[in-house]
Structure 1
Amino acid sequence: MDQSEIYEIIGFELSGNADKHQKEVLKSWMEESESNVKAYNVLRETWESTNINLNHPNEDIQFKKVLYKINASVRPKTFVSRHFIKIAASISIILVSVWFLVYNQSEVKQLEASVSGIEKSNPAGQKSNFLLPDGTKVWLNAESKLRYSTDYGKKDRQVELVGEAFFDVKKDASKEFVVKSENFTTTALGTSFNVQAFPNEGYINVSLVEGKVRVDQYRADSAVDISSKTYLRPGEQIIYDKSKNSLKKGDFNALETTLWKDGILYFDDTPFGDIVVALERWYGVKCSVKNAPEKEVLFSGVFENENLNNVLDAMSYSEKFAHKIDGKSVIIEFK
């Protein structure tokens, strides 16, 4: 369903004007994911905060309040029915929804300012890009979250990352830009780099595209004791193997590492197991693999904004497997 349609239905629901079919559609949509429930709650809270009472005895005054809320210039000259007021109210929430869609693309969650700071996060199957208060550009991958303080940029420029993000840092010689990810920090003044640090994967990867960065590794049992410092130049990366507690520095393939932010899946002799993990994260699905061959299967390919069925079709020609997609569940069976 188109996003504008579901938010229009939410408008009618909150204004008390939704019919039975719309209520059923809304219920099904909310049951699809937790992020949909959170999106609805944000709009409901925004709606309730307008303090418009649709059953107020003086409907003419209430209608004027609604018009004021939606910045309308029309003034009622005669008595206006309560039904009209409800329709106008639904228009108001639709406009609020448009604001929500523009500033929260891909259903990025931005928490209200608080002592703990601001968080932006994406569920599986969704990516986003946005600007930090200092103008630094961020591309946030699926199953990833970024946190920063409410006074970011005033005293320092520090963010905390879980997952993967690409940063195009706004230059500021007086304040370093610092990314914290597990027991690593990556420090830069003005540069472009990628950090991959998913908690459920066995490695952490920092790849530098432009500029210069310093990557500090802290002892696992300490937040202040640095065990190593590594400086990267453009085209270099470090990979930390969690199981081996080893750090390796070398060159990297910029295409393979950064194309994700442009909506491109890139595989270059990638093990099939890693591909399954990437597809689950990219499309927000869960894959079940049957009769997987004992010999490691490698695959190469480039997919730009392709749907999952097309990707699996292309892979199946060379790898000889069948697949079935049922909602968020995917079954892959080797022949």
Structure 2
Amino acid sequence: MGSFQQDIDHLILLYLKGEATQEQIAALKYWIAASEENKLIFKSIQKIWESETSSNAIKLSARREEIWAAASRKKTSLQRKGSPAKSVLWAAVLTFFLIFSAIAFYYRANDEPPLEKTISWLKKENPAGQRSTHLLPDGTRVWLNAMSSLEYPEVFSDSIRRVKITGEAYFDVASNPIKPFIAEVQGIHVEALGTAFNVKNFSNESTRAVSLLEGRVRVSGFEKDQSYILDPGYEILMEKNRVDFHVQTIDFDASFGWKEGILMFNGDDFVTFKRSIERWFGVTMKVTGDPPTDWNIRAKYYNESLKNILRDISFNKNLDFEMVNKDLILKF
């Protein structure tokens, strides 16, 4: 098999396996369009590949020489009739390599790699009761709350920095005006250049929020391609089962305090209180008796122990408590 034929075979195989780059696909298309014989060769190999009678590798190995030989016999027959097939073939060969070289030069000139690389994604997860910080490849620092996860590529692309979040995270984004930073949060995109912001989207809460400390962010992903540019000191709140949103000024401790060890209750009912305690301390709360319907707790604790928090609350809410392993039992 000649060198040129081997090159075409390799391109066709990469294309059929779905592994060809854009420049390889373009080069193959030019070769196919160069002559009717090239088109027949490609269609014959493609037909065998799509057959389900045996493995693709065995089929191609056994048949491709036969396909090329048949195409060669057809060219010879045309030449005997006075057809200029040989000159057309060499013209097609020359055209193919000139185009392939031009495409390769274009990608190199634009600093694009000639072959696509598979980038691995990393995932960081925190269980209940655990918080962590992470440094991303671009220098962005992320504070990850309990019961939250962060996904990001080992290496960011040349044009965009994209991460995925569940739960809650605070970002101190490294400035790079030509490479936007985007945090994906259940269909919502938060785009920043050089910014400090917080995203909150716990699966067991009905509201998600984006809170901005400094810089500017564009929040998008709403119906009808809506987007909103958020200014520092404001946050956007979105109900998960609705498409609208509203904007309000932030309470620093309520929006960002968790990363500094501040546990805050701002008029919370018992269900919200229970959910916060379980997430913050990694316990399971079990309740005996009936909690007051007017729970409405307002309190702020800084790096305080669970025992001290419950002791403080028990004075006002008339409850007893005990810990059994990871089970917190509240008695009313």
2:197 to 186, 193, 196: 193
| Cα pair 2:167 2:200 within 8 Å, conserved | yes
CA RMSD of aligned residues (A): 1.6
Deviations 1:167-211 (A, max 9, x none): 011110111110000010100101111000112221111011111
Measure how far apart 1:153 and its partner are: 5.2
Residue equivalent to 1:254: 252
Q: Which amino acid aligns with 1:280?
A: E
Deviations 1:87-136 (A, max 9, x none): xxxxxxxxxxxxxxxxxxxxxxxxxxx85511111111100012111111
Q: Which amino acid aligns with 1:311?
A: I
**Helix, strand or coil: the match of 2:256?**
helix
Residue equivalent to 1:80: none
Once residues 230 and 288 of structure 2 are traced to their aligned partners in structure 1, the CA distance between those partners, rounded to angstroms, is: 42
Residue equivalent to 1:315: 313
Residue equivalent to 2:141: 137
Once residues 208 and 257 of structure 1 are traced to their aligned partners in structure 2, the CA distance between those partners, rounded to angstroms, is: 9
Residue equivalent to 2:219: 215
Normalising by structure 1, report the TM-score.
0.61
**Helix, strand or coil: the match of 2:264?**
strand
Measure how far apart 1:298 and its partner are: 1.0
Structure 1 runs, 4 residues or longer, greater than 3 Å off = 243-246
2:289 to 273, 286, 291: 291
Residue equivalent to 1:177: 181
Once residues 203 and 221 of structure 2 are traced to their aligned partners in structure 1, the CA distance between those partners, rounded to angstroms, is: 16
2:279 to 270, 278, 281: 281
| Cα pair 1:211 1:234 within 8 Å, conserved | yes
Once residues 227 and 332 of structure 1 are traced to their aligned partners in structure 2, the CA distance between those partners, rounded to angstroms, is: 47
Residue equivalent to 2:210: 206
Once residues 331 and 244 of structure 2 are traced to their aligned partners in structure 1, the CA distance between those partners, rounded to angstroms, is: 36
**Helix, strand or coil: the match of 1:276?**
helix
Once residues 313 and 292 of structure 2 are traced to their aligned partners in structure 1, the CA distance between those partners, rounded to angstroms, is: 18
Once residues 192 and 270 of structure 1 are traced to their aligned partners in structure 2, the CA distance between those partners, rounded to angstroms, is: 27
Normalising by structure 2, report the TM-score.
0.62
**Helix, strand or coil: the match of 2:226?**
strand
Q: Which amino acid aligns with 2:207?
A: Y
Which one has the largest radius of gyration? 2
Residue equivalent to 1:168: 172
Once residues 294 and 306 of structure 1 are traced to their aligned partners in structure 2, the CA distance between those partners, rounded to angstroms, is: 24
**Helix, strand or coil: the match of 1:200?**
coil
| Cα pair 2:158 2:179 within 8 Å, conserved | no
2:150 to 146, 151, 160: 146
Once residues 227 and 203 of structure 1 are traced to their aligned partners in structure 2, the CA distance between those partners, rounded to angstroms, is: 20
Residue equivalent to 2:125: 121
**Helix, strand or coil: the match of 1:324?**
strand
Q: Which moved more, 1:188-197 or 1:320-329?
A: 320-329
Q: Which moved more, 1:204-213 or 1:283-292?
A: 283-292
**Helix, strand or coil: the match of 1:288?**
strand
Once residues 243 and 174 of structure 1 are traced to their aligned partners in structure 2, the CA distance between those partners, rounded to angstroms, is: 34
Identical amino acids, percent of aligned pairs: 36
Residue equivalent to 2:265: 267
**Helix, strand or coil: the match of 1:281?**
helix
| Cα pair 2:124 2:151 within 8 Å, conserved | yes
Once residues 323 and 291 of structure 2 are traced to their aligned partners in structure 1, the CA distance between those partners, rounded to angstroms, is: 21
Q: Which amino acid aligns with 2:156?
A: Y
What are structure 2's unaligned runs of at least 5 residues? 1-117
Once residues 141 and 286 of structure 2 are traced to their aligned partners in structure 1, the CA distance between those partners, rounded to angstroms, is: 36
Q: Does 2:315 match 1:306? A: no
Once residues 229 and 262 of structure 1 are traced to their aligned partners in structure 2, the CA distance between those partners, rounded to angstroms, is: 30
| Cα pair 1:133 1:153 within 8 Å, conserved | no
**Helix, strand or coil: the match of 1:277?**
helix
Q: Which amino acid aligns with 1:257?
A: S
Once residues 152 and 288 of structure 1 are traced to their aligned partners in structure 2, the CA distance between those partners, rounded to angstroms, is: 44
Residue equivalent to 1:77: none
**Helix, strand or coil: the match of 1:206?**
strand
Q: Which amino acid aligns with 2:235?
A: Q
**Helix, strand or coil: the match of 1:135?**
coil
Paired residues in the alignment total 215
Measure how far apart 1:294 and its partner are: 5.4
| Cα pair 1:309 1:325 within 8 Å, conserved | no
